[in-house]
A and B are shown apart, each in its own frame.
Chain A
Amino acid sequence: MIKPLLYGGLAVLGMASAMAKADSPASLMAQYAQQAGVPVSGLSASRGATLYRTEHPGRDGQAVSCAGCHTANPAQAGRSRVGKRIEPLAPAANPQRFTDAAKVEKWFRRNCQDVLQRECSAQEKGDFIAWLSQAR
């Protein structure tokens, strides 16, 4: 009598924790599209690619871009300014990417400030993930 209840409870708990961790590139794109007030089809991989590659004047006047550290090919490993390896950004090369919304927001907050000197919009974040999702 108790056993099925116990197992049932554990199963529900397991499902709940799996659901809490269920961020994916697709779910994040859906969230950002919604925030931006556009359908997911309104996200643009080519705009994302432009955002990734465009160089901007950084704080110390040197040109900075996403590609500067993550390399021109996001399926390849990059290098931080002090030489530490950065695992590839493209989910095709690194399935861990875009599976944790809090982590994604943390890095957008930091890196958009560093590269663009401002926060990125929801549209830009969605475009960015759209581009990386199809990068091979």
Chain B
Amino acid sequence: MNYLLRGIGVVAAVGVFSLLAFSLPSGDAHGDGGGNVLPRTANKAWQQECASCHIAYSPAFLPKASWRRLMSGLDQHFGENASLDPATQADILRFLEANAADSGTSRMGSRVMQSMGVSAAPLRITDTRWFVRKHDEVSQATWSRKSIGSAANCAACHRQAEQGVFDEDTVRIPKQ
């Protein structure tokens, strides 16, 4: 009897735990850390899939319309095949839309939107007016340094980009 009760207890505990673990929203925004620090958003598939080839660019850098365009053309993703199974693709798009620049969930996003055309849906973050203005002092020669390679490589200079920190004082531009 004692064992039976214990067994039921264990099963119940495991059940409650997994219920909690699996019912928590995976794409929750936890508040904006301030001007140049992105809210701590996370989605497992977004992190795992997008960050295979580049840092997982924050949803707050582009509006929903951009993310929809981008996610519907993954088989030709800036010259590379980045196609996903439909379920993963839908999961990631939901997360991107919920935290996009025009979702009202971050100050960074609001700033990106301030200089965005009404119906604009750029595919490249580097094509947004916000990005161009923020980086207007960086020369072409700097972008093409070997350790940087391209403007898509945020983490080359923004050393805490992977953690969503883009504060000016975390920037260190490599010399070569």
Chain A residues engaging chain B, CB cutoff 8 angstroms: 1-3, 6, 58-60, 80-84, 106, 109-111, 113-114
CB-based nearest A residue for B153:
A83
Cβ of B83 within 8 Å of any chain A Cβ, yes or no, is yes
- Sorted from nearest, which 8 A-B pairs have the closest CB atoms? A83-B153, A110-B81, A82-B152, A83-B149, A113-B81, A80-B53, A2-B3, A82-B54
A3 to B7, CA, bound (A): 7
Cβ of B79 within 8 Å of any chain A Cβ, yes or no, is yes
Knowing A1-B3, A6-B7, A82-B152, say if A111 contacts B81 (CB, 8 Å).
yes
B80 and A6 contact, CB distance less than 8 A: no
B156 to nearest A CB, angstroms? Answer: 6
How many chain B residues touch A (CB < 8 A): the figure is 26
* Residues in A neighbouring B83, C-beta threshold 8 A: 109-110
Knowing A59-B79, A110-B80, A111-B81, say if A82 contacts B7 (CB, 8 Å).
no
B149 and A2 contact, CB distance less than 8 A: no
Cβ of B65 within 8 Å of any chain A Cβ, yes or no, is no
Chain B residues engaging chain A, CB cutoff 8 angstroms: 3-4, 6-7, 10, 51-55, 75, 79-85, 147-150, 152-153, 155-156
A84 to nearest B CB, angstroms? Answer: 5
Q: Select which of B10, B80, B84, B156 is within 8 A of A83 by beta carbon.
A: B156
Knowing A6-B10, A109-B83, A113-B81, say if A84 contacts B54 (CB, 8 Å).
yes
Known: A82-B150, A83-B148, A84-B155; 15 extra A-B contacts, CB below 8 A, are A1-B3, A2-B4, A3-B7, A60-B79, A80-B53, A81-B53, A81-B79, A82-B153, A84-B51, A84-B53, A84-B54, A84-B55, A110-B80, A110-B82, A113-B75
B73 to nearest A CB, angstroms? Answer: 14
* Residues in A neighbouring B52, C-beta threshold 8 A: 80
A79 to B52, CA, bound (A): 11
B154 to nearest A CB, angstroms? Answer: 9
* Residues in A neighbouring B53, C-beta threshold 8 A: 80-82, 84
Q: Select which of B10, B80, B84, B156 is within 8 A of A114 by beta carbon.
A: B80
A127 to B85, CA, bound (A): 25
